[in-house]
Amino acid sequence: MKKAMTITYGVRNGVYVNMTNRCNCSCTFCIRNLADGAYGSDPLWLEREPTVQEVIDSLKQWDLSQKDEVVFCGYGEPTERLDDLLEVAAWIKQNYTIPVRINTNGLADLLYGRHTAPLLKDKIDVVSISLNDVTAEDYTRVTRPIYGKKAFAAMQAYATECAQVVPKVVMTVVDEVTTKEEQQKAAEIAASCGAVLRVRPLEK
Ligand code: SF4
């Protein structure tokens, strides 16, 4: 496993932020099991977690006026550092008009034991939540959350609350590991949460 301080990296015309390698899931398809980076990036395993100032300094190295979005993603679950993430997002909003997205497993409320979606208001434009599967049993088997089966319902409740405070919520399933029937059911679940479904390729 190669480590580096790859705090930001480019994906298409977006700037992705890599703040932590911590995660409360252990997905069977996690890209971290397959490679040290994503989309041709340098290694995303961090030598240490960057400070908020280091994240901001790294973002300053990009011309964000020419980019489509900033995405909190990386090689871990971004909401493991929710307070720091929101501090960086606030800085972005104070200085740029660029949309800000979080790619998340949607389990922040279980992580913190409280409702966290309201904290995203006016700082985050899009929340992309990994739905992954359409039953609690299959979701738990595929994502292996530390919270067990209750994670499936908690993730949907989080999506519903996010949809009340951010402009857009997307729920995703991975094309290679779901059937067309499951994708149809996933679309219904997403709609019931006030979200839209995206069927995405295996990369995160
Ligand atoms: S939630 Fe994301 S980072 Fe965590 S194990 Fe699953 S795919 Fe990997």
Class of CATH domain 3-200: alpha beta
Residue 111: how many other CB atoms lie within 10 Å = 18
Listed residue (200, 127, 122) closest to 158, CA to CA: 127
> 26 in ligand 1 pocket by Cβ < 6 Å?
yes
Taking a C-beta distance cutoff of 8 angstroms, is the pair 11, 75 a contact?
A: no
Give pTM, 2 decimals: 0.96
Q: Assign 67 a pLDDT band (cuts: 50, 70, 90).
A: very high
* Domain residue spans of the chain: 3-200
Give the model's confidence band at 1: pLDDT under 50 very low, under 70 low, under 90 confident, else very high.
confident
**Average pLDDT score, the chain:** 96
Sign of CA dihedral 70, 118, 50, 155: negative
| Structure token pair of residue 177 | 């590991």
Q: Decide: 204 and 31 in contact? Cβ < 8 Å.
A: yes
Q: Is 77 in the pocket of ligand 1 (CB under 6 A)?
A: yes
- Cβ of 25 closer than 6 Å to ligand 1, yes or no, is yes
C-alpha to C-alpha distance for 19 and 80, rounded to whole angstroms: 9
